[in-house]
């Protein structure tokens, strides 16, 4: 199969590209290398079935050309920055909502019928049902990121109805593991590397969050695309558990062998629009036979190990 | 109060502008007069508290200037064409999603904190719970129009969280009454005027739909904005009832005194993405003390009377 992966130099994209190549597929990777890292594609670039296009998702003409001959698009390119959304609202609109529209139009122009999409558990806002299932009550959005992903989901579903596409929409918890360059483990590692005697923590440390290991995430996505066959297939992806931020701090500092003084920013959330409790019901994806191999703790430790072995990523924009 | 009404030359916008002026407010109306009609503003334009700006919602710089000094924005401007969405997908993206983003940015630039928004019952897709309450399960979108309105809702809610705005979001059933220029009563009237011996009906005539009379709609919107005080206030607006399309055909032909031969297009829906059963639970708005004064039948008859007295609207783009 010829698979387009948008955002292929990113955390999830590069891991997915490696897996698809390993499984014998041809991969066209598209990335503007704005937050994506060429070094994440070192393996892929050695592969004759891999083609990297350095291009932007706002270039509809380019996308239409680059998609030619593909069987399927896995659309991961996005502004994944939840926290700083209100500093640049246009970014979520352009890189997430309009980019998704462009992907759909480029697919339509090329007669490509299958799309997978990285959405987010943030679309549930501050969920009233926890663990939160895919058919939770309509939520009030609390972040521009979540709102832009929900807009992307809606566009994709409407194209499925209107133009006969088929979609797999994944609502992730935060993902951890190799090539992770963004989020609290990254921030803490960076702080502790600079000064291991103290650690500034956003919020009160009691925020409850769930995390999934990247290889488990890739497994789930590929399994769902193989086995689920509705017109629009929506899946939560996460582990059957959550941790509090303070647990995570304990695991990170233990792995690093440091004992910093903790300085809490205070309040029950890290930033405006932060959700103090994310925990998704994953019964639907588990019913297909998937289960995560790594616990949250194991995922966090793997992430710390990756950062230790790849400190160059600390200098990236994250 | 100084109120901006976007889409003020439209069906709902012009009725709302008249009411706001009558209630003593100052109204800045914005409309690109693409589907809006200057004739709908005949009354408003005589009023010293009314200002009409012929401008487009994609003009962010213009909006920022035109919003200056306003206390509140009622954002109704939209591509309201549900049926032909798949013929021009970019229209919903631009006129609905991006336009709403522009409204929010122009509000932010001017420090305006209150926004009302015309969303749609279409955001529920093919609802699994009927009558459908505001907190129905997350729906799969079935039209580009619904998807673009859901995107608008999400953006507005995220701005409320991120920038301290307050919002009233109205999910309408179809609205009927004076200045109606769009939908099945319009289509049928137009057909019957040309040839009263036959009527082409999309679908099988058994689609179940709900309609609300424009003055009841305006009452509900203003009441909600006065009484509901959450950060994000979402209200379904509709009557406590539905009709089947065939009932409506009976009322229309009776009002016109014609007996056409009915030719059905067939199938359980009128077009791709049409929803064969729309019926909203309106307990939430009723709890504020509102109830509609006109039944669906009365609203349809009023609409026929309006069209008879204003046949010039049949020549508009609808």
Rounded Cα distance between B266 and B281, Å, is: 28
Nearest CA in chain A to B155: A147
Candidates A123, A93, A103, A95; CA nearest to B100 is A93
Give the Cα-Cα-Cα angle B176, B177, B181 (nearest 5 degrees). Answer: 75
Interface check for A271 against chain B (CB to CB < 8 A): the answer is no
Rounded Cα distance between A154 and A173, Å, is: 19
Q: Cis peptide leading into A131, omega within 30 of 0?
A: yes
CA atoms lying within 13 Å on the CB side of residue B76: 26
Interface check for A151 against chain B (CB to CB < 8 A): the answer is yes
- Phi, psi dihedral angles at A201 (to 5 degrees): -115, 125
Letter string b/e over residues B188-207, b meaning 16 or more CB atoms within 10 A of that residue's CB = bbeebeeeeeebebbbbbeb
Q: What is the pLDDT of residues A215-253, one digit of tens each?
A: 999 999 999 999 999 999 999 999 999 999 999 999 999
Residue A207: both structure tokens together = 């925020």
Contacts of B234 in chain A (CB under 8 A): 138, 140
Q: Where are the beta strands (DSSP E) in B173-246?
A: 174-176, 198-201, 208-209, 211-213, 232-237, 243-244
Are residues A275 and A82 in contact, defined by beta-carbon separation less than 8 angstroms?
Answer: no
DSSP bridge partners of A50: A27
CA B155 to each of CA A151, A154, A211, A272: distance values in angstroms, whole numbers, following the listed order: 9, 13, 26, 15
CA distance B162 to chain A (A): 6
CA distance B72 to chain A (A): 21
Q: How far is CA B187 from the centre of its chain?
A: 17
Picking from B134, B140, B166, B236 by the largest number of A CB atoms within 10 A of its own CB, the best residue to mutate is B140
The answer, yes or no, to whether residue B293 has pLDDT greater than 80, is yes
DSSP bridge partners of B31: B54
> A–B: how many Cβ contacts below 8 A?
134
Bridge pairing between strands B232-237 and B166-172: parallel
**What is the full per-residue pLDDT of chain A (318 aa) written as tens digits?**
999 999 999 999 999 999 999 999 999 999 999 999 999 999 999 999 999 999 999 999 999 999 999 999 999 999 987 777 778 899 999 999 999 999 999 999 999 999 999 999 999 999 999 999 999 999 999 999 999 999 999 999 999 999 999 999 999 999 999 999 888 999 999 999 999 999 999 999 998 889 999 999 999 999 999 999 999 999 999 999 999 999 999 999 999 999 999 999 988 877 776 777 889 999 999 999 999 999 999 999 999 999 999 999 998 865
pLDDT value, residue B235: 98
Bridge pairing between strands A174-176 and A166-172: unpaired
- Phi, psi dihedral angles at A17 (to 5 degrees): -60, -45
Are residues A294 and A302 in contact, defined by beta-carbon separation less than 8 angstroms?
Answer: yes
Residue length of chain A: 318
The answer, yes or no, to whether residue B318 has pLDDT greater than 60, is no
Bridge pairing between strands A243-244 and B261-264: unpaired
CA distance A102 to chain B (A): 10
Give the mean pLDDT of B289-306: 96
Looking at B41-98, list the stretches that DSSP marks H as alpha helix, in order from N- to C-terminal side. 42-45, 60-66, 89-92
Are residues B230 and B318 in contact, defined by beta-carbon separation less than 8 angstroms?
Answer: no
Q: What is the pLDDT of residues B107-164, one digit of tens each?
A: 999 999 999 999 999 999 999 999 999 999 999 999 999 999 999 999 999 999 999 9
Bridge pairing between strands B72-75 and B114-120: parallel
The answer, yes or no, to whether residue B83 has pLDDT greater than 80, is no
ipTM value, please give it.
0.93
Global confidence as pTM:
0.95
Picking from B107, B117, B123, B151 by the largest number of A CB atoms within 10 A of its own CB, the best residue to mutate is B151
Task: Tell which A residues from 225 to 264 touch B, by Cβ distance under 8 Å.
Answer: 231-232, 234
Contacts of A162 in chain B (CB under 8 A): 85-86, 89, 143-144, 272-273
CA distance B198 to chain A (A): 30
Give the mean pLDDT of B231-252: 95
Interface check for A165 against chain B (CB to CB < 8 A): the answer is no
Interface check for B115 against chain A (CB to CB < 8 A): the answer is no
Picking from B61, B79, B101 by the largest number of A CB atoms within 10 A of its own CB, the best residue to mutate is B101
Rounded Cα distance between A103 and A108, Å, is: 9
Contacts of A155 in chain B (CB under 8 A): 93, 141, 144, 147, 151
Interface check for B60 against chain A (CB to CB < 8 A): the answer is no
Give A318's DSSP letter: -
């Amino acid at each position: 199969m010829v698979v387009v992966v948008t955002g292929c130099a990113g955390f999830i994209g590069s891991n997915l590209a490696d897996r698809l190549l390993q499984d014998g597929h041809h991969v066209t990777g598209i990335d503007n290398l704005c937050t994506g890292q060429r070094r994440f594609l070192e393996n892929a670039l050695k592969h004759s079935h891999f083609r990297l296009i350095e291009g932007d998702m706002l270039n509809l003409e380019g996308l239409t050309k680059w998609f030619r001959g593909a069987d399927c698009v896995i659309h991961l390119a996005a502004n994944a920055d939840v926290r700083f959304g209100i500093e640049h609202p246009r970014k979520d609109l352009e890189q997430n909502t309009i980019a998704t529209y462009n992907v759909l139009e480029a697919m339509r122009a090329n007669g490509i019928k299958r799309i997978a999409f990285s959405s987010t558990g943030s679309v549930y806002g501050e969920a009233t049902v926890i663990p939160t299932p895919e058919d939770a009550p309509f939520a009030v959005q609390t972040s521009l990121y979540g709102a832009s992903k929900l807009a992307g989901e809606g566009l994709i579903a409407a194209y499925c109805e209107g133009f006969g596409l088929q979609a797999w929409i994944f609502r992730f918890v935060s993902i951890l593991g190799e090539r992770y360059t963004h989020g609290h483990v990254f921030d803490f590692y960076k702080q502790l590397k600079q000064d291991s005697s103290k650690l500034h923590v956003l919020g009160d440390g009691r925020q409850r969050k769930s995390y999934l290991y990247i290889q488990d995430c890739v497994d789930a996505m590929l399994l769902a695309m193989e086995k689920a066959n509705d017109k629009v297939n929506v899946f939560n992806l996460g582990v059957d558990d959550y941790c509090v931020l303070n647990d995570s701090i304990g695991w990170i500092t233990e792995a690093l062998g440091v004992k910093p003084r903790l300085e809490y920013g205070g309040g029950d959330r890290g930033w405006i629009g932060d959700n103090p409790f994310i925990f998704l019901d994953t019964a639907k994806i588990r019913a297909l036979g998937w289960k995560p191999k790594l616990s949250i703790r194991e995922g966090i430790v793997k992430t710390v190990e990756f950062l230790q072995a790849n400190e160059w990523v600390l200098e990236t924009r994250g």
